[in-house]
Structure 1
Amino acid sequence: MKTIGSLHPLKQPMMYFRIKNKATRTFVTVCGDSANPRWSKLSVCSYNGKTTQVWFYCNGLIKSKANYACIDIIGGQGKPGTKVNLWTEHGRNHQKWRINSNGTITSFLDLNLRLDVKGGDFNDKDNVILNMAEEEQQTQFWDIEMLR
């Protein structure tokens, strides 16, 4: 439960969700050691029913239910092709995201940078990355599946 308000705080239940890629029908997933964000990576994979695919949104941060780490732009560099991973919360802009009504998730660093799936034929093809906004790039669109 989170509290909102200052004079008479209200208890609000945490709203959990899954992030599903519209093109690949796969979910943003914490892979590797979910207990330690430094030893994990962020990729997309098929539904697995675990907390490694469950997220919540708090003050611009998208946080993992598995370890409470935040989706973070590696190195804080807002450039196309930069990998996105998990990191402990520090609240800087390279950890903040906008979940938009058009199905995109954009970075506070630059609203033209969207979450995307790397793709291609390499072993890291399922990694989550930043990319420039392209309406025809279907891997840049996501469904937010709310959980009860």
Structure 2
Amino acid sequence: MNVLLTIVLAVQMLSALGMIGLILLQHGKGADMGAAFGSGASGSLFGATGSANFLSRTTAILAAVFFACTLVLAYFSHSVKPVSTGSVLERAAPAAPAASASGPNPANQIPGGGTPVPAQQGPATTPATTAPVVPASGAAQIPTK
């Protein structure tokens, strides 16, 4: 399968380079006016009709080959199963265990987090009914002024 993809990719690249060369060799629309007044087109390699017919047909054939190779490569890219599944976030390292009460203060790890936070106002609760404080994630960790 890998050899086939390499061959198709090589054919696509060669057809693209061939199209570029043939398109650059073709005359513009204004070049036909000069040929009408005897600009020497009759002495060309492709005869009195000029190279426009040959170059345009060859360009069309190379364009069809390029398009077919593109479709084959697109088909193969969607038929191959991805090596890994899941997102990058699912493969992230597991979170560090929570620090103990006597351990370092997580607020000191945040830039500007060493400043004391005013106490919350409200009814006093007993330590047994207080829910554990979980540090906020994302934008909530950004210190405000």
Instruction: Give yes or no for TM over 0.5.
Output: no
Q: Which has the higher helix share?
A: 2
Larger Rg, first or second structure (1 or 2): 2
TM-score norm. by structure 2 comes to 0.16
